[in-house]
Structure 1
Amino acid sequence: MSHAIGTVIVTYRCRELALACLASIEQHLPDLLPSTVVVDNASFDGTPEAVRAAFPSVRVIEHRRNLGFAAGVNRGIEALPGAEVIALVNPDAELLDDGLIAAAAYLREHPGVGVLGGRVLNRDGSIQPSARAFPSHRHALFNRHSLLTRLFPRNRWSRQYLLTDWDHADIRPVDWVSGAFMIIHRRALDAVGAFDPGYFFSIEDVDFCRRVHDAGLEVHYFPDAAIRHRIGGSSRRAVFRAMAGHHRGMWRYYRKHFRTNPLLDAVTAAAIGARFAIHAASYTLRTARNAALRRPNP
């Protein structure tokens, strides 16, 4: 049954994390390795060679330049034409069980569902908010990283967006699920096509789930398949590029799904630009402070 499931892992400069991810697949679902594809986005850190040496049954696709996450996913899906169900697993994640088998069975038994999102846990075992409501202008002020959410984590709007009022213990329909652990039935790809390669990093999962909804299929959260996810395992190697990609993705998503009039467009573009500037400045200051703390006293 597992050979009807394919797995796609897109890597960028995270060799040891990718090997640990594959080791978790070998531990919980060893029969899945021959239908696993690693797409390396120009890591140049020995990732392809290490994967081939440690897991010879895994197919490795090498890109000579970094095409971004969405394009990497598409290349991996293309390499699995016989897979009925395709699981996207981040290289900085590790499977915690064999729940992909149950997830594939659930998708077969529920033809109105196109995508599942598994349970995603932080390293300490706490729930990582990986299923959320679709973003809106209001959510720009109450997303996971916003100042208002950090200062007032129990406010109603943040809870509505992040779905934190729910213990994530049951299967339920949601708006979108994280690409860190997304389980896709072939019917969703047939209905909406591939991931949009115009998203370099981040927001491509939101866009894909929105298109799945628009096609009349549902997205469900499925807690019976779980991973442990180390956020930023790949993006920490190119923080500013990832940060810029995320904010460009926000603008692309807005233009595709929300644009209404020139004034609102201008305000939204300015807000996204300001958000990027604040995040970049905050990261720069934090990095400089940490470096100063690590510097030995004369």
Structure 2
Amino acid sequence: GNPVMPDQAGAVGSTSATSPDEAKSLAIRGEGAVGSTVDVTVVVVSYNSRNWLERCLSPVVHQSGDVLGLEVIVVDNASTDGSATFVRERFPGVTVIESNVNLGFGAGCNRAFAVAKGRTIILVNPDCELQPGAIAALHRFLRDHPRIGAVGGRLAYGDGSFQHAAFRFPSLAQVFLDFFPMNWRLTESRLNGRYPRAIDTTAFECDAVLGALMAIRRTAIAGTGGFDERYFMYVEEIDWCKRLRAFGWEVWHCPDAMGVHHSGQSTRTVAARMFVELHRSRLHYFRRYWPPATVAIARLITWIGCAREIMRLRRRAPDDASRERIRGCREVMRLVA
């Protein structure tokens, strides 16, 4: 997922400007446009991220000599902070696609996929800073392993601490541990969808990788049809990895591509809204892939978890953050009821 915010209507998919015809054009052109000398297209989907774009795009542009032809596309999701103008002035070689509505992360990516020329397409969050050699490492990994459709990089938070970048597909245990964390060992375990931290420095096959730093093989997008735009933000890359694997592609973690992910920096001010969007996306995923009985249990766990969180917050001295969080919990309870 990516720090993008819903418009006021907020209904998932309601803001998507991608018509069915545009969506069809996402059956993307072969292994790259005919005669294309572009190895890699880097895609950044941005919403009011102007303060981060310098730190995001500078390392990308500096790595342009590492591959044969680098194209950079920024999809601006109706920002109001002058992001698009800033990118055009500061990075004139970057293609800016401006949307007049906030499409969300997946639909924003699809807009870029439709025009991207690279054989490898690398998604980079606007609050992710690539470390030297990351672009070449991801491109090389896909080039050398033809069965791999997507590969994720290694991530650290802004303070240098470890961030999980590869995940197992969601399970009921994960839903439970999200609301009722037991202890650190369980939170870090496969029950919670995690791979061991110890293997983070090695290449390994995984269920899904985080969209903050993720390289995609162009032909894999052509086969699977890009991201499901019904996810406004969050979970869309997990859903896509699920479909990718169903088509016989592999998904891997590549430790040689490193990014510093100042995670969620541009969503801090709207944390409650992000909480709602996360659970809206999760519910869509559950309904799509799980049997109805399992979905019902997940909804019940979520409802109880939110009710418990509201009770906990009410015992504290009220402040704006806790009121906002209570509103978010109530909205999620309505969502899963």
TM-score by length of 2: 0.76
Residue identity matched to 1:232: G
Contact 2:72/2:94 (<8 A) preserved: yes
Q: Which residue of 2 aligns with 1:226?
A: 258
Deviation, 1:70, is 0.6
| Corresponding residue SS for 2:200 | coil
Are positions 1:210 and 2:246 aligned together?
no
Q: Which residue of 1 aligns with 2:326?
A: none
Contact 1:201/1:246 (<8 A) preserved: yes
Deviation, 1:93, is 0.6
Are positions 1:11 and 2:43 aligned together?
no
Deviation, 1:279, is 6.5
Residue identity matched to 2:92: P
1:4-153 matched pairs, under 5 angstroms: 4-29=39-64, 35-80=71-116, 82-143=117-178, 146-148=179-181, 151-153=182-184
Contact 2:77/2:99 (<8 A) preserved: yes
Q: Which moved more, 1:64-73 or 1:237-246?
A: 237-246
Instruction: Describe the shift of the 1:92–1:165 C-alpha distance in structure 2 as closer, same or farther (beyond 3 A).
Output: closer
Please, which runs of 5 or more residues in structure 1 have no aligned partner? 292-298
Q: Which residue of 2 aligns with 1:272?
A: 302
Are positions 1:176 and 2:212 aligned together?
no
Residue identity matched to 2:301: A
Deviation, 1:269, is 2.5
Q: How many residues align?
A: 283
Contact 1:2/1:101 (<8 A) preserved: no
| Corresponding residue SS for 2:254 | strand
- Listed one character per residue, the Cα deviations across residues 95-146 of structure 1 (whole Å, up to 9, x for unaligned) are 1112221221221221111000001111222220010111111111235xx4
- Give the whole-Å Cα distance in 2 for the aligned partners of 1:243 and 1:121: 22
**Identical aligned residues as a percent:** 32
- Give the whole-Å Cα distance in 2 for the aligned partners of 1:282 and 1:48: 42
- Give the whole-Å Cα distance in 2 for the aligned partners of 1:286 and 1:25: 45
Are positions 1:241 and 2:273 aligned together?
yes
Instruction: Describe the shift of the 1:281–1:194 C-alpha distance in structure 2 as closer, same or farther (beyond 3 A).
Output: farther
Deviation, 1:208, is 0.6
- Listed one character per residue, the Cα deviations across residues 261-293 of structure 1 (whole Å, up to 9, x for unaligned) are 4xx4333223334545666888997992789xx
Contact 1:159/1:165 (<8 A) preserved: no
Contact 2:66/2:133 (<8 A) preserved: no
- Give the whole-Å Cα distance in 2 for the aligned partners of 1:134 and 1:96: 28
Deviation, 1:204, is 0.4
Residue identity matched to 2:183: F
Contact 1:250/1:272 (<8 A) preserved: no
Are positions 1:154 and 2:185 aligned together?
yes
Instruction: Describe the shift of the 1:290–1:234 C-alpha distance in structure 2 as closer, same or farther (beyond 3 A).
Output: closer
Instruction: Describe the shift of the 1:73–1:126 C-alpha distance in structure 2 as closer, same or farther (beyond 3 A).
Output: same
- Give the whole-Å Cα distance in 2 for the aligned partners of 1:280 and 1:11: 32
Q: Which moved more, 1:122-131 or 1:30-39?
A: 30-39
Q: Which moved more, 1:278-287 or 1:122-131?
A: 278-287
- Listed one character per residue, the Cα deviations across residues 176-208 of structure 1 (whole Å, up to 9, x for unaligned) are 000011100112112211100000010001101
Instruction: Describe the shift of the 1:63–1:199 C-alpha distance in structure 2 as closer, same or farther (beyond 3 A).
Output: same
- Give the whole-Å Cα distance in 2 for the aligned partners of 1:11 and 1:277: 33
- Give the whole-Å Cα distance in 1 for the aligned partners of 2:310 and 2:155: 27
| Corresponding residue SS for 2:198 | coil
- Give the whole-Å Cα distance in 2 for the aligned partners of 1:287 and 1:57: 49
- Give the whole-Å Cα distance in 2 for the aligned partners of 1:147 and 1:222: 31
Residue identity matched to 1:202: Y
- Give the whole-Å Cα distance in 2 for the aligned partners of 1:72 and 1:111: 27
TM-score by length of 1: 0.86
Instruction: Describe the shift of the 1:46–1:273 C-alpha distance in structure 2 as closer, same or farther (beyond 3 A).
Output: farther
Please, which runs of 5 or more residues in structure 2 have no aligned partner? 1-35, 323-337
Instruction: Describe the shift of the 1:25–1:218 C-alpha distance in structure 2 as closer, same or farther (beyond 3 A).
Output: same
Q: Which residue of 1 aligns with 2:319?
A: 288
- Give the whole-Å Cα distance in 2 for the aligned partners of 1:113 and 1:166: 23
